[in-house]
Structure formats: structure tokens, C-alpha cells
Amino acid sequence: MKPFQIGAVLFPGFELLDVFGPLELFAMLDDRVSITMLAQTAGEVVSAQGPRAIADASLADAARYDLILVPGGIGTRKAVQDERLIAQLISHSEAVRYVTSVCTGASLLARAGLLDDREATTNKLVFDWVTTQGPRVRWVRRARWVVDGKFWTSSGVTAGMDVALAIIQHAFGREAAEDSARKAEYVWNEDSTHDPFAS
């Protein structure tokens, strides 16, 4: 059986846990998934916290994925102005089964118009800035994550791990999600409406 293909998007100033928290949980599925790190060009990308990650392939690559993961981070402030990146996100989003954003990653999807007329959420500390990137989005202020069609948007940083487990449950079944959480010794918040940071 062909592995579930995940493309994790990197850009300068991405948030470390937005990427590696969800990927850790997906990787618990072992050979059922294949993860590729993507960026404008293959090679090193500096995170918001300083450590670098290696992009395996360019976003311009013709490869097709089952899921695209779009993180947040301080780098989204510049990335929303990057027309090439936005166009590549649109192209990949059209071809995948799942598009998920963590934290301010929703600003990139919103700027691309991908969330227009859909419900979505994002990090509560910068909620007001992110929402300016998509005035036609039906932003949900109190939500750990929101699902609308193929788009799964999550709140700040660690919420990416909760939405990852929700996607695992949707794609692979509850037992797989529980197993990933157990292996990571992670307490899964299964309630998408439980958002203690909204207030």
C-alpha cells in the first residue's frame, strides 16, 4: 500500500513546534506515512527560533501529496507578501486531500483566498492580524481547530498536535490516533471547541 504522503512547508521564520510537533505524531504511523520537507528551494531554512531545517524538495516540484502542512511563525509576516509562495500553496492545495495550518499559517491560506467563505481559526494572540489577511473568511475565535471541507486550521502552536491527531483519526482510524498519542506520551485534547486561550 502506498504511504500517505505529507508535504511540510518551510519558509524563513517558521515556528519549530508548528512543524515538528505534528510531524512527530504522523511519524508514529511508521511506514504508513512518508514526510517531505518543502520550501521555495531545497536546502536549509532558518526557523523563528534559530535552528535550521532542511527542505528535501522545492514547492515547484511536481510531486503530489495527500496532506500539506502549513506552519506559522514570525516569518508569516513576510511570507504573506510572497506571491510565488502563495501561488504554490494554491497549486498544491488543489491536488491534496487535506490542507492543515498551524497557528499563523492560516494567514497564508487566507491570503491565497483558499479559506474564502469557509470557517477557520488561528493563534489567539495575533488573531486580529491574521484575520486581516482574509476578510471573507468566517473566522472562529473560540476553537482549538476548525474543519471546513479539506481545510483543517488550528490555533496556536501546540494546537497543531491536536489537529494532527484529529486528521490521523479521520484518515487512519481512532486506534491509530490513540497509538500515536500514547507513543509520544501526549495528552490529546480531542475537543475542537475547547480553547482555553481564546479568552
Over the chain, what is the mean pLDDT?
96
Residue 149 — pLDDT band, cuts 50, 70, 90?
very high
- For residues 183-196, give the mean pLDDT: 95
Tell the CATH superfamily of the 4-184 domain.
Class I glutamine amidotransferase (GATase) domain (3.40.50.880)
CA distance 116 to 112: 9
Picking from 137, 140, 149, 91, the residue whose alpha carbon sits closest to that of residue 111 is: 137
Answer whether residue 183 shows pLDDT above 80.
Answer: yes
Answer whether residue 35 shows pLDDT above 90.
Answer: yes
The β-bridge relationship of strands 119-120 and 43-46 is: unpaired
Answer whether residue 143 shows pLDDT above 90.
Answer: yes
Answer whether residue 91 shows pLDDT above 80.
Answer: yes
Contact yes or no for 97/65 (Cβ under 8 A): no
Could you read off the pLDDT of 37-67 as tens digits, one per residue? 999 999 999 999 999 999 999 999 867 899 9
Rounded alpha-carbon distances, angstroms, from residue 180 to 76, 155, 165, 199: 29, 20, 8, 30
Give the bridge partners for 189, in sequence order. none
Locate the domains of the chain by residue range: 4-184
pLDDT at site 4: 97
Residue 11 — pLDDT band, cuts 50, 70, 90?
very high
Answer whether residue 174 shows pLDDT above 90.
Answer: yes
**pTM, two decimal places:** 0.96
Percent of the chain surpassing pLDDT 70 = 99
* Catalytic residue positions, numbered: 103
CA distance 176 to 45: 31
Contact yes or no for 163/155 (Cβ under 8 A): no
Give Cβ neighbours of residue 70 (< 8 Å, ≥ 6 apart): 9, 89, 99, 100, 101, 102, 105, 106, 108, 109
Could you read off the pLDDT of 100-135 as tens digits, one per residue? 999 999 999 999 999 999 999 999 999 999 999 999
The one-letter code for the residue type at 7 is: G
DSSP state of 32: G
pLDDT at site 62: 66
